[in-house]
Amino acid sequence: MKLWQKDSGALQAVEQFTVGNDRAMDMYLAPFDVLGSMAHITMLATVGLLEASEAQLLKKELFHIYTNIEAGQFKLADDVEDIHSQIEILLTQALGEVGKKIHSARSRNDQVLVDIKLFLRHEINNTVKAVQQFFFLLQQQSEKYKNHFLPGYTHLQLAMPSSFGLWFGAYAESLVDDCITLQSAYKVVNKNPLGSAAGFGSSFPINRTLTTNLLGFDDLNYNVVYAQMGRGKAERITAQALANVADTLARLSMDMCLYLNQNFDFVSFPAELTTGSSIMPHKKNPDVFELIRSHCNRIKALPNEMMMQTTNLPSGYHRDLQLLKEHLFPAFTMIHQCLQMATLMLENIHIKENIIADEKYRYLFSVEEVNKLVLQGVPFREAYQQIGRLIEAGQFTYSTQLNHTHEGSMGNLCNPQIHQQMDAVMNGFGFEKAAQAIQQLLSNAKG
């Protein structure tokens, strides 16, 4: 059943092709479609398009639908095309003609837009909180293992001494920048498109500022044409922010795969967190990290995929945009699972002590010996050549005593400062404003 159905029906094959996986994707949007409708009918009553009593009836019924969705007791009927139609049908079944008034002064275009933005806002909120928890773990492990040294590599060649304090701390600080990009995505997402209708506004005297406040948006997408053009752009920007988190996790996972390798032998994990081989009894495979790496690499491909899907689209709505949901929406679940599994692994990591005491890592200390000569007054280039000649002659000697004190080095990790950076980013989101607005909207509907 389609509320927009005309006299001539589409061929079943065309219908199946055009609907695609939209019904499944719509279930992600279900609670947000209800919230958008609550704000819309509240506004309609203030401009005379609904009686106050009608608006109250609609809000109470919408609240009932919302609680069913939250309880997992809601589904799309087999003959209903989408979530928007399903909710309107339920309202009409419960309230008769009043239910049919809910769509005044809006189009499915801006209805979908506001649903997606509310969904993305909610998921960014949850993702940021999950990233923050992983950040705390990394900082905790950085402090715990700050005196556990390991070889540092460039080009996968031995370079200079590093530490697990630096390693954990590096990924913690990476997440700070990832959250900055999530905040940018949040600012793009947190603008209200409702009232743009099909992309050209409405002749009804609607109050878009009111729905903006009711839904806790920071501001409007003012230009109604741009509000529609913003579909695809908001999703792509969000996907890029997710890809940044995914990139951090993928690189961390690659490090772990290397460090668990017997030729590195820097770390180990309880047997139950690794997998074995069907024929090699000694194997402890890093399957969790390999899968995190692969899942995250798929997420990293999302922005480019979405960019290509929207390439050369003119202004206005196009059905191409429907497909953006299919990979983006599940990506939030996947990034959460990857964060959860990375947390499980790093909570249970065992780090080998005295790694760099092994003589095979002696050349890690070449720069340290060069620096010692410089501190004695030898020009750097000459000191570099002296140590190089000793290495070539097989006469290089070194000390494993290290004294790095500058900001961000092994002896001065600056974890408190990095923590302050994360706090500043978190405080810049303003999640509380949206949460309070939605809670008030629901309270008013509940009555």
pLDDT tens figures, 143-171: 999 999 999 999 999 999 999 999 999 99
Give Dmax (Cα) for the chain.
94
Judged by DSSP in three states, 186 sits in helix
C-alpha–C-alpha distance, residues 185 and 328, integer Å = 14
Predicted local confidence at residue 5, as pLDDT: 56
Backbone angles phi and psi of 104, in degrees to 5: -60, 135
Averaged pLDDT in 10-residue chunks for the chain of 447 residues? 54 75 87 97 96 96 96 89 91 94 93 97 98 98 97 95 97 98 98 95 96 98 95 96 98 97 94 76 84 98 95 90 92 98 98 94 95 96 96 94 93 97 97 97 91
Give the sign of the dihedral formed by CA 182, CA 188, CA 192, CA 198: negative
Query: What tokens were used for 36?
Result: 């958008």
C-alpha–C-alpha distance, residues 112 and 110, integer Å = 5
CATH T-level fold of 12-104: Fumarase C; Chain B, domain 1 (1.10.275)
Cα separations (Å) of 334 from 116, 240, 299, 338? 18, 15, 9, 6
Judged by DSSP in three states, 187 sits in helix
- Estimate to the nearest angstrom the gap between the alpha carbon of 94 and the chain centroid: 38
| C-beta contacts of 317-324 below 8 A and 24+ residues apart | 317/109, 317/198, 317/199, 317/228, 317/231, 319/18, 321/231, 321/232, 322/20, 322/22, 323/20, 324/232, 324/235, 324/236
Where are the alpha helices (H) located in 47-76, listed in sequence order?
A: 52-70
Task: Assess if CATH 1.20.1530.20 describes domain 109-357+414-446.
Answer: no
Tell me the pTM.
0.93
- CA-angle at 230, arms to 224 and 236, nearest 5°: 175
C-alpha–C-alpha distance, residues 23 and 423, integer Å = 39
Predicted local confidence at residue 319, as pLDDT: 86
Give the sign of the dihedral formed by CA 252, CA 258, CA 262, CA 263: negative
Cα separations (Å) of 222 from 213, 219, 311, 316, 323? 14, 8, 24, 15, 26
Predicted local confidence at residue 79, as pLDDT: 83
C-alpha–C-alpha distance, residues 375 and 379, integer Å = 9
- Estimate to the nearest angstrom the gap between the alpha carbon of 236 and the chain centroid: 12
Query: What tokens were used for 67?
Result: 């609680």
Is the CB of residue 193 less than 8 Å from the CB of residue 227? yes
Predicted local confidence at residue 278, as pLDDT: 62
Tokens 């999302």, residue located: 302
Predicted local confidence at residue 81, as pLDDT: 82
CA dihedral 354, 142, 350, 282 (to 10 degrees): -90
Query: What tokens were used for 347?
Result: 């909570």
Domain locations along the chain: 12-104, 109-357+414-446
